[in-house]
Structure 1
Amino acid sequence: MAGKKTTQQLAQESPAAVLEYLQTSWQGLTAQQAAARLKKYGPNQIVKSSHQSQLKIFLKNFVSLMAILLWVGGIIAFLAQMPELGIAIWAVNVINGVFSYWQEHAAQKATTSLMKMLPTFVRVRRSGQLEQIAVEELVPGDIFELQAGDAISADALVLEANSLQVDQSALTGESVPESKQSTYKPGEGEFAEANILYAGTTVGAGTGLAVALATGMQTEFGHIADLTQTQSQTVSPLTQELNRLTQQLSLVAILIGVAFFFLAIWVVHYPLAQSFIFALGMIVAFIPEGLLPTVTLSLAQGVTRMAKKHALVKDLNSVETLGETTVICSDKTGTLTQNQMTVNHIWLPFREFQVTGQGYEVNGQVKYRGQPVQLAQQPELQKLLTIAALDSDTRVEAPQTKQSQPKLLGTPTEAAMVIMAQKAGLDPDELTQRYPRVKELTFDSQRKRMSTLNRLPDGSLRICVKGSLGDTLDCCNRILDHTGIRQLTQRDQDRAHKAESDYAQSGLRTLAVAYRDIPADQVPADIDSLKVANTEKDLILVGQAAMADPPRPEIKAAVKKCHDAAIRIIMVTGDSPMVAQNIAAQIGIVSSKQARVITGKELTQMSTTDLQAAFQQELIFARVAPEQKYKIVDTLQQMGEIVASTGDGVNDAPALKKANIGVAMGITGTDVAKDAADMILTDDNFASIVAAIQEGRTVYNNIQKFLTYILNSNVAEAVPSILFLLSRGMIPLPLTVMQILTIDLGTDMLPALGLGSEQAEPGLMHLPPRSRKAHLLTKDVLWRAFAWYGLMGSLVSTAGYFFVNYQYGWPQVALAASGSHYVTATTMTLAAVVFCQIANVMNCRTQSASVFALGLFSNYKINVGILAEFLILLILMYVPLLRGVFQTGALNWADWIFLVCIPLPVFLIEELRKAIVRRQKGLK
């Protein structure tokens, strides 16, 4: 900021005083002054906070709690004299860490912000000469010029304004452009001073001259960016839950290891060293080595699927966070609405017309009582439309392709009027040629009108006027209705004001249209002699056009889906309370227009306790400042909510960073917002958030399915060792530690990865978000994994072990503890666990729905995984080198018949259980 005076203080001083304060002049700075100030204030650019080096980002993938557990597990394997297992476990950790880094790096690279909101060049006066300089070289005190389409490069004071209108929606969320002038006027809400321009906003129409007050990080744009960068990243619920799960499983593994250590000493009478190695092997066996890579891959697959649905996620854990979202704080402009002003109704003194079509589409229609109108039969309507098209500096260029959008050259309000005429069949360009403009009386915020003088074919002039109803009526003494032109009465004015009020209650703003013809013989020779005073008088009121920024067509259905999923949506916008309230009610965010609206001014006076109490009812926030959006998100988080905050403007960035999941708009979103967000919608479609939420819930469910799957095999792995201990060694180990690790790191891994890509279960989006008190390792997961799937697997695998021994003479012959018979028996136990897992991976695809509802073979990754685990088993059994390492052998034809009979009954028994559960819960 220049000196110690704030922008708001300088706004209230005269231009001469500001120029003196900044030590500059109308001629601009000299080259020497500019160079000195550039050195003092620094480049005019937004400086990003320092980020972690790529090395630190890479290494963080190897120091999570689960990763540390795997490092320790590898060490234990080496201590247990099993180097192959140690190497395998470490390899899993390395591969997972590299994969995680690659996924996050690719996402971050795709969303790297280049800060393109600021223009590349700016036109400044230096020593009285107009120069074009790089925007980074602009300094406080520089005098610079503006014209329509320019992005504003600094906070600045307006010195001259000619119909200057600025789009400030990136800062305020207000879709209606602000008129700017050279005299101070406070305005309503934040950033509303009439003579102040803010960096990051855009000139919509007109021209101007301004003096830079602040540049770079000292601008309001820079302050918001700095506030965003100083916010610490919140830890995702999934990260917290995985840490908790790792602690739980680690504790279980250690307790089992300790128990097996003492049992080996007391029951089997193993030597101390042998008991220790046996216990270490069991600890390694019970560490879920596949958890981290499976979770990472499941999240990565979620990222890929979401990208296809127009949602680009920058961090893997953000996928699951979306699934836990309980509240969405949504901006309005450009997020819930189209950010395209659209005329909905045309009011004439005797009739009202409806205008159809969304946004800047030109294929809508003007209708009366549901039927398209014929302009030849509606001369009064045709006159209003013609005046609206002529009294405009805006043009809308047709899209170049079917996929592209029309190009707007001017302000959204004027564009709405032009499109209105096009929808009725008029061609604005043809009208301009037929009735050429000879003079323009530009819009200003004092009289709130704009007029053009167009020459008619007979040589007369038509004065075309549009503006606010009250200010336009002050210039009217006649009115046009179906009977013709007559005197304007008080009753006419009352009816016009009532129509304006009715439209306002529906969230619409109006523009009045009027005109007056100057006969050819009365047109002065000097057109410039026609000023406001002698032109905008004795006008004829034609009617009003009512317009609004319409909701996106798909929003209502998306909002309903959120409500079905028990997700609350709260509108948080910089727009006016009335507009926000009407839009919220229209799309179903609130149940009625009576919902409470809290303005930024009211929010400032509310304590955290008051705000928390207010959240107990339906709420809408309007006219809020950036730091207030942050306060709203923070308060919700203190109440235990998982908050997703959406937005596209600079003003949304702090809240996006603070939220558990920040969602920015990819098309209309500012670079600051994209940089702060966790997810970017590449189509700016709110409905994509709903798809992302479903994807997040699906990912979490799939992780639970994976947990159920790997834990049930741990039971089948543990029971043989328990039999060994309880029999005091009379039952030799049916499954060796190497074979246990074969299941964990080999045969189980690929089918488990297939579970990570399972589709959503039916009815998932009709369930509420999971409770913050709920955990991945639930009672239901434990029951199904240990007492149901695990029990079936244990019985089957144990039966397989004794089936082989039976063929060799058991129980008449003692169980072999070594030799080929023992190798065959342990191989059979391993194979029985694998074949039982083939059935269980199909069972784990759903929690209560029938697998047939999804399609028995619809998940090709699981099908490939099943085939792969079968091939791995064959390789271990028939490749001589591996047979020696894993202590496996070949099976005979009777053994294979036993194995083939395992999956089908295990699968059908579970289908029966699910059917009973569905019937008890009243589900289909």
Structure 2
Amino acid sequence: MTVERVVTPSGEVSITGTGYAPVGQMVGVDGSDVSEAVRAEVLSTLVAGTLANDGDLRENNGKWEIVGDPTEVSLIVAARKSKADKATERFTRVAEVPFTSERKRMAIIAKDNTEGGNLTVFAKGAPDVLLSFCSRIAFGNQVRPLTDGDRQDILADVERLSSEAYRTLGEAYRPLETASLAAVPGIRANAAGEVSDIAEQSDVIENDLIWCGMVGIIDPPRTEVRDAVAEAHSAGIRTVMITGDHPLTAARIASDLGIIAKDGKALTGDQLDALTTDEKFDKATSEVSVYARVAPEHKLKIVESLQRQGNIAAMTGDGVNDAPAVKSADIGVAMGITGTEVTKESAKMILADDNFSTIVAAVREGRGIFDNIRKFLRYLLSSNVGEVFTVFGGVILAGVLGITQPESTGVTLPLLATQLLWINLLTDAAPALAMGVDPQNEDVMNRKPRKLTDHMIDRDMWIDIAFIGIIMAAVTLIGMDMHLAGGLFTDRSVDAMGHDAQMVEARTMGFTILVFAQLFNAIASRSHLQSAFVGLFSNKWLWGAIGLSIVLQLLVIYVPFLNGPFGTTPLSPLAWVECICLAAFVLIASEIYKAIMRAIDKELSR
């Protein structure tokens, strides 16, 4: 945050320089020199803003570090740029009425060590609020009564700066003309003349103040925030801005960020208080995305209203007053840098860098992880369903497909137990693990949020699993049938190699087709609707896993001492062509299914 403008009764100046390094100077708005009268008013304004301040600016190894609220530190920086900080050194703080979001102002009482120890009140706060406690105004070195015309001029300046996205803070002071706080008219002191409850007597010191000016603080949004808001919108996430700033400032910043349209308005806390029923309040929160001049209870009511409407509400906060709303939200997010311990304890998540775009990045990452879990489940379940259907179909249709053993009265299984174990423990495992590190799909942030009632495996996914499983079983059994006598797809008879040898060859075919069908399924399972050919080679781990599975399958087929335990035999080049073509039909069928589903979704979205 940077103080760029200071508006006083006699004029307006610019403070050059950006950031928290106290490098800059006071110049006219048009770059001209500043008159002595305006300079004196600016110095008074910055002195008040620096004294009524709990922040600090420190230099550490050539770098400037801020302590406390960035808004307050920006006033200290402006004072140092304008050499107003020298004037603050003669004052010592003796009492304070702290800032609260309800009061929207703070005041301190300081002893002037050069004027016999006389006390002075310095105050800062929201200009429209602080102005109501002022009865006088300082022009140069003169003080006169504050007129209605003066008030209108000041409020007009507030609106002008606010419409330009400046945050405004008013400054005022009041000499108490006594060195004893207990001697101030109206102050209650104990028998020893001590005043310990000054905050409860704020009405005594925060009146008859002298208006000296206000500052315009620019807090430009980070360049990545606008993109993050747009990305959140495309993901079906509505961004709501709740602030204590002036409504015009809030609306301008929200407009610059893309939260609302250029002509959008902000709803104030007072306007929220006028909504006396839940129905009216819910209607307002469903339509309005910017709230200004709000109190902590308004934040809580907004969160509860959004939840009543069936929304999942995430609330960010840093101050103690934000804690109730952060705790009530479905996802409470505390600021890791500026957040208080109370807010951090109330939150479910702590934002380490205090950056809104990190929240959107977390949503993207979360969706990617959720997608990968579904990919993992889709791949394993569809592959296992394919194995089950293969065995079940092979047993039921054994006579039709020729999966029989002469002189055997028992059931002849299409695949051996060792083959199924090999598939499940080795060739399945590597691609399944690679699914866990699959890159995010391109459309991950272009989807609507899921409902709380949605299941991990929904109806569409079960249909997908069953469909792929059936295709996988079908191509496996067809491949076996083509190498068996008496099958549906071949007129082959028992030749010189004998029935047992034919069965071994057919099982090797079925075994290999099922393995390769599952590898093609791994490629297809990377997205529910998006084509498998989008980002085909983006997951190097998956291709490594596929390569490993192919090598393992070749070992089982071509290493002689493994042929016996796994019931395999070497395949001819033509047999390999048949295996690959039949297995690839899983990917082809999946692409056709996805294309149909995309067309249906597109039609429904019109």
Structure 1 427/918 Cα, relative in aligned 2: closer, same or farther at 3 Å? farther
The counterpart of 2:228, out of the listed 539, 558, 583, is 558
Q: Which residue pairs with 1:257 in the alignment?
A: none
Does residue 352 (structure 1) correspond to residue 24 (structure 2)? The answer is: no
Do residues 493 (structure 1) and 150 (structure 2) align? Answer: yes
Tell me how far apart the structure 1 counterparts of residues 497 and 392 of structure 2 sit (CA, whole Å).
16
Judged with a 3 Å threshold, the aligned counterparts in structure 2 of structure 1 residues 916 and 744 are, in CA distance, closer, same or farther, namely same
Cα 1:625/1:830, change in 2 over 3 Å: same
Write the deviation string for residues 699-742 of structure 1: whole angstroms up to 9, x where unpaired: 33333333443344345321353143134585243223543343
Work out the percentage of aligned pairs sharing the same amino acid. Answer: 29
Q: 1:699 to 1:464 in 2, by over 3 A?
A: closer
1:399-444, CA deviations, whole angstroms, 9 ceiling, x for partnerless residues? 5379x872327x766533222244xx44566x46xx9627778766
Deviation at 1:839, TM superposition (A): 2.4
* CA shift in 2, pair 1:675/1:415, >3 Å: closer
Partner of 2:170: 511
Select 2:403's aligned residue among 725, 731, 735.
731
Matching residue of 2:66: 407
2: CA distance between counterparts of 1:642 and 1:764? 18
Identify which of 479, 498, 519 aligns with 1:800: 479
Q: Hey, what does 2:190 align to over in structure 1?
A: none
Query: In the TM superposition, what whole-angstrom CA distance separates every residue of 1:870-900 from its partner, at most 9, and x where no partner exists?
Result: 2332454467786665544544554445445
CA offset digits 1:607-649 (Å, max 9, x no partner): 5x665555443266732349x83x7655644543333333334
Equivalent-residue separation in structure 2 for 1:820 and 1:485 (angstroms): 113
Name the structure 2 match of 1:696. 366
Residues in 2 aligned to 1:351 and 1:633: alpha-carbon distance in whole angstroms:
42
Q: Report if the CA contact (8 A) 1:712-1:790 is conserved.
A: yes
Q: Report the CA distance between 1:866 and its aligned residue.
A: 0.7
Asked if structure 2 preserves the Cα contact closer than 8 Å seen for 1:511 and 1:546, the reply is no
CA distance in 2, matches of 1:486, 1:632: 44
Which of 159, 162, 177 pairs up with 1:502? 159
Q: Counterparts of 1:860 and 1:823 in 2: how far apart (Å)?
A: 35
- Please name the residue that 1:397 is paired with: 57
Per-residue deviation, 1:691? 1.0
Matches within 5 A, 1:353-432: 353=13, 360=20, 362=22, 373=31, 376-377=33-34, 379-388=36-45, 390=47, 392-393=50-51, 396-398=56-58, 400=60, 406-408=65-67, 414-422=72-80, 425-426=81-82, 431=86
Contact kept? 2:390, 2:414, Cα under 8 Å: no
Q: Residue 437 of structure 1 aligns to which amino acid in structure 2?
A: R
SS at match of 2:214: strand
Residues 465 and 682 of structure 1, relative CA distance in 2, 3 Å threshold? closer
The one-letter code matched in structure 2 to 1:725 is I
Task: Tell me whether 1:479 sits opposite 2:139 in the alignment.
Answer: yes
RMSD: 5.2
Matches within 5 A, 1:108-507: 342-349=2-9, 351-353=11-13, 360=20, 362=22, 373=31, 376-377=33-34, 379-388=36-45, 390=47, 392-393=50-51, 396-398=56-58, 400=60, 406-408=65-67, 414-422=72-80, 425-426=81-82, 431=86, 437=90, 470=131, 474-476=135-137, 479-480=139-140, 490=147, 493-494=150-151, 496-499=153-156, 502=159
1:416 maps to amino acid:
S
Are 1:436 and 1:454, in contact at CA under 8 Å, matched by a contact in 2?
A: no
Residue 840 of structure 1 corresponds to which residue in structure 2?
521
Instruction: For 2:249 and 2:574, locate their aligned partners in 1 and report how far apart those are by CA, in whole Å.
Output: 74
Shift of 1:753: 2.5
- Unmatched runs of 5 consecutive residues or more in structure 2: 99-104, 186-207, 405-412
Q: Is the 8 A contact 1:390 1:452 kept in 2?
A: no
- Contact 1:666–1:680 at 8 Å: present in 2 too? yes
| Amino acid in structure 1 at the alignment position of 2:334 | A
1:860 aligns with 2:532: no
Match of 1:744 among 416, 421, 424: 424
- Report deviation, 1:682: 1.3
Q: How does 1:40-51 map to 2 (within 5 A)?
A: none
Aligned to 1:873: 553
Please tell me the residue identity of whatever aligns with 2:357. A
Q: How many pairs were matched up?
A: 546
Per-residue CA shift, 1:93-144, capped at 9, x if unaligned? xxxxxxxxxxxxxxxxxxxxxxxxxxxxxxxxxxxxxxxxxxxxxxxxxxxx
Query: Is the 2:44–2:212 Cα contact (8 Å) retained in structure 1?
Result: no
Q: How many Å separate the matches in 2 of 1:365 and 1:586?
A: 28
Task: Check 1:647–1:844 CA distance in 2 against 1; reply closer, same or farther (3 A cut).
Answer: same
Structure 2 Cα separation of the partners of residues 753 and 703 of structure 1: 10
Name 1:623's counterpart in structure 2: 295
> Structure 1 counterpart of 2:376, which letter?
F
Query: In 2, Cα distance between the equivalents of 1:721 and 1:465?
Result: 86
Measured after TM superposition, the shift of residue 364 of structure 1 is 7.5
Within 1, Cα distance between the matches of 2:91 and 2:330? 57
Query: For the Cα contact (< 8 Å) 2:10–2:139, is it kept in 1?
Result: no
> Which residue identity lines up with residue 493 of structure 2 in the other structure?
Q
Q: Helix, strand or coil for the counterpart of 1:764?
A: coil
User: CA–CA distance in 1 between the matches of 2:317 and 2:106?
Assistant: 34
Contact preservation (8 Å) 2:479, 2:582: no
The SS at the match of 1:735 is coil
Task: Kindly provide the CA deviation profile for residues 749-776 of structure 1, in whole angstroms up to 9, marking residues without a partner as x.
Answer: 2212322322222233232213456544
Distance 1:384 1:880, change over 3 A: farther
Instruction: Single out whichever of 681-690 and 613-622 deviates more from structure 2.
Output: 613-622
Give how far 1:867 is off. Answer: 1.9
Please, what TM-score do these two structures have when normalized by structure 2? 0.70
- In structure 1, what is the equivalent of residue 450 of structure 2? 770
Q: Cα gap change, 1:875/1:379 in structure 2, threshold over 3 Å: closer, same or farther?
A: farther
Q: Structure 1 counterpart of 2:526, which letter?
A: R
| Cα drift, residue 848 of structure 1 | 4.1
Contact 2:172 2:209 in 1 (8 A): no
Amino acid at match of 1:624: P
Alignment match, 2:356: 686
Contact 1:503 1:509 in 2 (8 A): no
Query: What secondary structure, in the 3-state scheme, does the structure 2 residue paired with 1:826 have?
Result: helix
Q: Who is 2:408 aligned against?
A: none
For 2:193, the equivalent position in structure 1 comes to none
Specify whether residues 727 and 570 from structure 1 end up closer, same or farther in structure 2 by C-alpha distance, changes over 3 A only: same
Amino acid paired to 2:517: C
The answer to whether the 8 Å contact 1:800/1:832 transfers is yes
The alpha carbon displacement at 1:845 in A equals 2.4
Change (3 A) 1:413 1:474: farther
Secondary structure of 1:664's match?
strand
Tell me, in whole angstroms, the C-alpha distance in 1 between the residues paired with 2:276 and 2:146: 46
Is the alpha carbon distance of 1:499 and 1:401 closer, same or farther for their aligned partners in structure 2, counting shifts above 3 Å?
farther
Q: Is the 8 A contact 2:247 2:266 kept in 1?
A: no
State the SS of the aligned residue for 1:684: coil
Residues of 2 paired with 1:527 and 1:805: CA distance? 110
In structure 2, give the amino acid aligned to 1:800: G
> Quick one: distance in 2 between partners of 1:421 and 1:715?
73
